[in-house]
Structure 1
Amino acid sequence: MIGTIINSVTIVVASLFGMFIGSRLNPKLKESLMRVLGLVVVVIGLKMALLTDEVVILVGSILLGTAIGEVIGIESKLESFGRSVERRFEGSKFAEGFVSTTLLYCVGSMAVVGSIQEGLTGDYSLLLTKSLLDGFASIALASTLGIGVMFSSISVLVYQGSLTLLAGHISALMTEKIIAEITATGGVLIVAIGLRLMELIDLKPGNMLPSLLINPIILFLI
């Protein structure tokens, strides 16, 4: 859970920073830094994806998983859920800051893949990158929404920590090959997130999440 703890602490520190001087930061600087972080995310994703020894299964899992996600409409449903929750707390600045950033930091592919990766392999590098992204977002949001943003760190700790612990227990039932292939599949999702952060393509990584389940199922069956 080291990655999640760092992620939570980063949100707290960045929120405090944002409440005091976040509004003075140059918007162009923030935009440039976010795009550079997007490039870093792509590199991390590629490194993960190259762990695969089963390219055909990887491609098949991504295609089938994305098709399932598109039919279900995972990303659009998550976005709709987020908007409905935000509307319920409209008018309360603390609640708006807490709910908005909780959804932003937790309802996403990077939170899921990063937490699972740490639980399965002990590698929390992806969550460190997510910490940087969440940190910049916290600076910007805390400057307008206030202390509620900082308290979203509790949600991140509970949500991502639970995923990591669950993945850690499941890892005992998996072979090294299956863990490597799940990691590689997650890497493709991370590349998609990075390209989206760089505003190069309009992908919906949330709709690709079923791939993480499809891949081990295929490996178990063959």
Structure 2
Amino acid sequence: MPIGIIINSFSIILGGILGGFLGHLLSEDFKKQITLIFGVCSMAMGIPSISQMANMPAVILAIILGTSLGLIFHFNEKINFAAALMQRPIAKFPQQELTLSHEEFMSTLVTIIVLFCASGTGIFGSLTEGMTGDHTILIAKSILDFFTAAIFACNIGYVVAVIAIPQFIVFFCLFLIAAVIFPLTTPSMILDFKACGGFLMLATGFRMIKVKMFPTADMIPAMLLVMPISWIWTTWIVPLLG
């Protein structure tokens, strides 16, 4: 039973609904300033994961190759298209007047889709729960996700709650295949995987505080490449260098 995944998804639904309902009560300055704080929190969550990486060259290579694939196959455009589809049914319901332009709205929506669906903590937590039944990682993540969803819903409306659907699908699929993936991993592969997720969290934080709009959606394929590259590095490359 994926208890942690269910709790995590419900935390986003509740946070999204609460933020969408109460957003008009908060000043624009408050919403802007608190978004900066969540950006810093995202960066702070990513840095410890990065610092624990076992094989820096492997992680860097995975990020470069993965992002290149994302850019070549226009992964960001596909995420944008999915985000637009998510917004359509929500737009039919009455909601607060948004002050963001369409470009800012879509950019923010894509940022939080990546934040909720592709974070290293969420993916690792789903794999851990599927393999060991330990759901504490995802429950801890749910607390932050609730407040994050609420604040973002204050800015872009109820559509934030809908992100719980693709997040649940992604995490539940990882939960199901965890029994196959985990026995094939090593401790160094897990650390490199979490480090790769940390880079995504760091890039997402920079997007949230609008310092630099990193192509976070295009970076997602790196999460698929980092474990195989880490294994190749430790199994073949390191012995050659030694």
Task: Provide the TM-score with structure 2 as the length reference.
Answer: 0.72
Percent identity over the alignment is 20
Match of residue 152 from structure 2: 137
Q: Tell me, in whole angstroms, the C-alpha distance in 2 between the residues paired with 1:131 and 1:7.
A: 8
* One-letter amino acid of the counterpart of residue 41, structure 2: V
Instruction: State whether structure 2 residue 169 is matched by structure 1 residue 159.
Output: yes
Q: 1:16-44 CA deviation, whole Å, 9 max, x = no partner?
A: 53465331111110111111010011011
Q: Tell me, in whole angstroms, the C-alpha distance in 2 between the residues paired with 1:15 and 1:207.
A: 25
Match of residue 100 from structure 2: none
Q: 1:90-135 CA deviation, whole Å, 9 max, x = no partner?
A: 87328xxxxx9xx769842541234312024563355543332212
Q: Tell me, in whole angstroms, the C-alpha distance in 1 between the residues paired with 2:9 and 2:19.
A: 15
Residue 183 of structure 1 and its aligned partner are, at CA, apart by: 0.7
| SS of corresponding position for 2:118 | helix
Q: State the Cα RMSD in Å.
A: 3.1
Match of residue 92 from structure 1: 92
Count of aligned positions:
209
Q: 1:164-203 CA deviation, whole Å, 9 max, x = no partner?
A: 4136322233112211111111111110001110111011
Match of residue 201 from structure 1: 212
Residue 50 of structure 1 and its aligned partner are, at CA, apart by: 1.0
* Gapped regions of structure 1 (runs ≥ 5): 95-99
Match of residue 44 from structure 1: 45
Classify 1:119/1:4 alpha carbon distance in 2 versus 1 (closer, same or farther; 3 Å).
closer
Q: Tell me, in whole angstroms, the C-alpha distance in 2 between the residues paired with 1:23 and 1:179.
A: 42
Q: Tell me, in whole angstroms, the C-alpha distance in 1 between the residues paired with 2:206 and 2:216.
A: 10
Q: Tell me, in whole angstroms, the C-alpha distance in 2 between the residues paired with 1:15 and 1:63.
A: 33
Q: 1:73-106 CA deviation, whole Å, 9 max, x = no partner?
A: 101221023325645x487328xxxxx9xx7698
Q: Tell me, in whole angstroms, the C-alpha distance in 2 between the residues paired with 1:60 and 1:154.
A: 31
Alignment of 1:46-195 (within 5 A): 46-84=47-85, 86=87, 89=89, 92-93=92-93, 107-113=113-119, 114-121=121-128, 123-124=137-138, 125-126=140-141, 128-142=143-157, 152=162, 155=165, 158-166=168-176, 168-169=178-179, 170-195=181-206
Residue 219 of structure 1 and its aligned partner are, at CA, apart by: 2.5
Classify 1:173/1:44 alpha carbon distance in 2 versus 1 (closer, same or farther; 3 Å).
same
* One-letter amino acid of the counterpart of residue 122, structure 2: S
- Give the stretch that moved more between structures: 196-205 or 76-85: 76-85
* One-letter amino acid of the counterpart of residue 123, structure 2: I
- Give the stretch that moved more between structures: 107-116 or 176-185: 107-116
Task: Provide the TM-score with structure 1 as the length reference.
Answer: 0.77
* Gapped regions of structure 2 (runs ≥ 5): 95-105, 130-136, 237-242
* One-letter amino acid of the counterpart of residue 217, structure 1: P
